[in-house]
Amino acid sequence: MTDQGDPSITRSDPSLTDADEVARALAVDPATGLTTAEVARRLAEHGPNELRSTRTNPLWRRILAQFTDPLIILLLVAVVISVVAWIVEGAHGWPIDAVVIGAIIILNAVLGLVQEARAEQAVAALSVMTRAQSTVLRDGELHTVASAELVPGDILVLGEGDQVGADGRLLRASALRIAEASLTGESEAVEKSAATLTAQVPLGDRLDMVYKGTAVARGTGRAVVTETGMTTEMGAIATMLDETREEPTPLQQEVSRIGRVLGRVVIVIALVVMLALALIEGINSPSDFVTILLLGVSLAVAAVPEGLPAILSVVLALGVQRMAKRNAVVKQLSSVETLGSASVICTDKTGTLTTNQMTIERIVTASGTVDLSGAGYAPIGRAAVDGRPLEPGALRTEAQIVLGAGALANDAQLAEHDGVWEIEGDPTEAAFLVAAHKLAGIVEATAQYGRIGDVPFTSERKMMSTVHRRADGSTVVLSKGAPDVLLERCTRVRVGDDVVPLDGARRAAALADIEALSQAAYRTLGVAYREAPEFGSLDQGGDVADPDESHERDLVYAGAVGIIDPPRPEVPPAIAEAHRAGVRVIMITGDHPATAARIAADLGIVEPGRATALTGTQLDQLDDAAFAQAVRDISVFARVAPEHKLRIVDALQADRLVVAMTGDGVNDAPALKSADIGIAMGITGTEVTKEAANMVLADDDFATIVEAVREGRVIFDNIRKFLRYLLYSNTGEVLTVFFGVVFAGVLGLSDASTDSIVLPLLATQILWINLVTDSAPALAMGVDPEIDDVMARPPRGLHERAIDGRMWAGIVTTGVTLAVITLLTIDVFLAGGVIPGGTDSVDVARTAGFTTLVFAQLAAAFVARSATSSAFHGLFSNRWLVGAFVLGVVLQVLVVSWPPLQVAFGTASLDWQHWVWCAVAATAVIWVDEIRKAFVRASDRRRAASGGGNARGGGTGVRDAGRALADGDGPRHPSSIA
């Protein structure tokens, strides 16, 4: 055997091989794992642990894809026809139109490619941020590494909620249950064991193996990695999963739908224009035909916003990047849209609304209350009774037991590094360690207790126990947990040095103490114990090895602690902001109802003094109708188990609400999947919840969710802005040509020298506007800052159209204005027509019209930034837009004045009077729209005054619901909760 291991082990069946044998064959010591150097070597040899299911898209294919748009194909065909016509006519000079249009198409393709690459880069960067992680043993230490870096021979350390990163042979398993549905379809989690199998069995029955892509539902274990990447069982079926392909978002679908509709409309318009031209002018030569054809096709290209999907993905991707910088890592582009329309946020309390910095401040036992001073994790503080400091060692026995047992029934660690006290593990547990260290004698007393077993904590059980053997060989069960839950397992209570029965009065007194602690916003935990001779060593009469829930009985209640977990300071303003935005906030916590209600009131989730919390037990008693009503009325749910979250999501969604739901534990995953936006905690969350979520909160902070909702709304607003802008421009161009040709006679747009009508725009000019000058402002609008106060309005319905009636009104108004000023400009400078007196040539007049149109469109970019606010509001707040405006003007000056471009685009030089006219005429777009917006605002004010469409409805609605509930009025209040 070399030190790289025996590769044949991966070919033989590791499930039939002894675990140590497998580890030996893979040349790894299960006690220390591989060395870093060896990992690097194996990674180079085996490649990353990834499923390469997606084919890479070669450049040529991506380039080709830029030309697959039907309109671009149409344009290419037209170019070919014009070249043919040019040849037929004797191939004099250059086929200028064909060359120019060809160049524009290529430029457009390049821009498309660049945008696509940017969007892809952003998405790829995200997938790096959200990639799965695994815990491994390397160099004798535990490390968290990207699962993609696992290699054969790695020792995987598995815990509840972990994703299994690679295939492996179990070395040990403790109550390990693995959910293998993704691999075998089996919905029940499978109980695993390290015992070697004796016969070959199907995948689902290989209990001594774990497989990539499955998840730890419960328990812990260690496994030696046998296969990675495509050679895993998941790799074998990976061709079936094309996981990275993204569904188009609802908005992207709507945009393609709009594109299709516009395409049809404009083809009709183009045909009418072409027919009108052919009839009025007649087709006397191939070049006449080509001119008409190119114009028709250009019109079609101009009207359909074919650049839109590309801009859309760039804007979504940039938005997602911006959100990631603010700690909200969104996994799919579509979630950005959904976030913007969230109408309810269901949030955990601990760590999300609070800082998760737990400090025990109070110990309440049968003999009274002890207060403990000190903050943070530094074990510095003193005990006091009724405000009088206690002498060291004078602490009552019960209080000593509470802290001592709490510190023993504990998986956390407290250590000092460079003068700073740090904790490892659950902060609730660490609080016991800190408190025990503050007082003399407790830590010393716990030293003689050796731990021999445990019954782990789960959110469902809300308690945990450990079994210890003392120096004298006696054994004891120590339990800590939610006091109300713990008391149900207690039959006796510690009073001073005595143990007395826990009769009705004593139980009531204990519960009252807990209630009082909870109402003071303390998180409460009880501590209990029992002598447990059944665990004694065999010669002492013990007969049990592994503890389970049945041993958590007949306990002696020692007392409870009040833990302060301060609210995050940024949360109350975030909740107020959510309410202002019509977003309801619901707290769902495992904590005590009184604690939950008090903190909810402190944070502003419900009105102070009116907070009511419903517990999981109460929820269980409600039928579906009462449950639905309760979820409508109540915003604080306490002592709930993860399955209640799922039921709450379903009830809210049945009311057509868009639900965001947070979670951290493995059992939260179904609720996160079911919610419209599942949000996993980045710090405390398990891999399984992160996998199930649409968004991961890097800082676990509630305020980040509200920030993400705002960002989602801003992004959606920006998408509407450039949709508006592109549709303004396109409508303007189409109407210009349509009116210009169809009403040429009325408008008198004719060339006196040849007696033919003057085309208001040439085909190349249309393409120039559409594919060159339009793109930059549209892109700039995608990163526009918040112009309208997006949090002042209620959430948008998930299926609400991006383009509503009001937007269409704006599109028609602006489109018509653009066409009118363009045609007017041509008319002014041309002899004859409606406005007589012009003296310019056709080329000059048309160039002036073209320039007016371009300037007016650039101005329209500012108009398009808001549905209601003035174009002058925040005029310079987007430097990209200002830059795009300047660029547009410069490009237009070039195309009008630079001789080579004059030839290409059929323009002629303008004098200063022309330029002034164009600039002034262009501003008409702004004035007309300012008038329209004034009407819109006035109508909004009227509607608000008459009580409809109040943007603050959601916020007050939540409060009203709370008030109605507290007042107990009306039929909306389910009687079973009262």
Ligand X SMILES: Nc1ncnc2c1ncn2[C@@H]1O[C@H](COP(=O)(O)OP(=O)(O)OP(=O)(O)O)[C@@H](O)[C@H]1O
Give contact residues for ligand X (rule: CB under 6 A): 348-350, 426, 428-429, 457, 459, 462-464, 480-482, 523-525, 589-592
Instruction: Work out how close the CB of 464 gets to ligand X at its nearest, in angstroms, rounded to a whole number.
Output: 5
**CA-based Rg of the chain, rounded to a whole angstrom?**
36
Find out whether 221 and 209 touch, Cβ atoms under 8 Å: no
Q: By C-beta, is 350 or 718 nearer to ligand X?
A: 350
> Which residues make beta-bridge pairs with 498?
495
State phi, psi for 794 to the nearest 5 degrees: -70, 160
* Residue among 363 and 848 whose Cβ is closer to ligand X: 363
Q: How far is CA 514 from CA 500, 562, 860, in A?
A: 19, 8, 65
Shortest distance (Å) from residue 680 CB to ligand X: 13
The answer to whether residues 305 and 774 touch, using CB atoms and an 8 Å cutoff, is no
Nearest residue (beta carbon) to ligand X: 590
Contacts of 370 (CB under 8 A, 6+ apart): 362, 363, 383, 384, 385, 390, 395, 396, 399
Cβ neighbours, 10 Å, residue 326: 15
Residues 6+ away with beta carbon under 8 Å from 406: 432, 435, 436, 480, 525, 527, 561
Please answer whether residues 190 and 170 qualify as being in contact, where contact means their C-beta atoms are separated by less than 8 angstroms: no
- Is the Cβ of residue 183 or residue 695 nearer to ligand X in the bound state? 695
| Least distance to ligand X, CB of residue 186, Å | 27
CB-wise, 304 or 464, nearer to ligand X?
Answer: 464
If you search the block for the tokens 């949090």, which residue do you land on?
791
Report the alpha-carbon distance of residue 938 to residue 932 in Å, rounded. 10
Nearer to ligand X, 595 or 765 (CB): 595
CB 622 within 8 A of CB 651: no
- Least spacing, CB of residue 571 vs ligand X, in Å: 13
Q: Which helix (H) or strand (E) holds 954?
A: helix 953-967
Residue 898: CA count within 13 A, CB half-sphere: 9
Nearer to ligand X, 229 or 642 (CB): 642
> Strand (E) positions, 705-853?
750-751, 756-757
End-to-end CA distance of the chain: 73
Q: How far is the CB of 424 from ligand X (least distance, A)?
A: 13
Residue 129 vs residues 631, 653, 948: alpha-carbon distances, Å: 35, 30, 44
Nearer to ligand X by Cβ, of 482 and 696: the residue is 482
Q: Is the dihedral of CA 853, 856, 860, 861 positive or negative?
A: positive
Q: Which residues contact 388 (CB under 8 A, 6 or more apart)?
A: none
Question: Which is closer to ligand X, CB of 97 or CB of 664?
Answer: 664
Annotation marks residue 348 as catalytic: yes
Nearer to ligand X, 700 or 711 (CB): 700
Of residues 512 and 920, the one with the C-beta less far from ligand X = 512
Cβ 492 vs Cβ 501: under 8 Å: yes
Is 43 or 175 the residue whose CB approaches ligand X more closely?
A: 175
Which residues 6+ apart lie within 8 Å of 666 measured at CB? 160, 161, 215, 216, 217, 218, 686, 688, 689
Backbone angles phi, psi at 24, to 5 degrees: -65, -45
Between 462 and 721, whose beta carbon lies closer to ligand X?
A: 462
Q: Which of 69, 167, 348, 784 is labelled catalytic?
A: 348
Joined tokens for residue 715: 């992004």
Which is nearer to ligand X, 38 or 591 (by Cβ)?
Answer: 591
Q: How far is CA 268 from the centre of its chain?
A: 42
Task: Give a three-class secondary structure readout of 206-275.
Answer: CCCEECCCCEEEEEEEEEEEEECHHHCHHHHCHHHCCCCCCCCCHHHHHHHHHHHHHHHHHHHHHHHHHH
Beta bridge partners of 173: 221
Cα 561–chain centre separation: 37
Bridge partners of 492, per DSSP, are 501, 556
Cβ at position 36, least distance to ligand X in Å: 33
Three-state DSSP state, 787: coil
State the minimum distance, in angstroms, from the CB of residue 718 to ligand X: 34
What is the Cβ-side half-sphere exposure of residue 882, based on CA atoms within 13 angstroms? 8
- Closest approach, Cβ 700 to ligand X, in A, equals 10
Cα angle at 843 between 907 and 854, to 5 degrees? 50
Q: CB count, 10 Å around CB of 789?
A: 12
Cα separation, 70 vs 160, in Å, equals: 52
State in angstroms the smallest separation of the CB of 476 from ligand X: 17
Residues with active-site annotation? 348
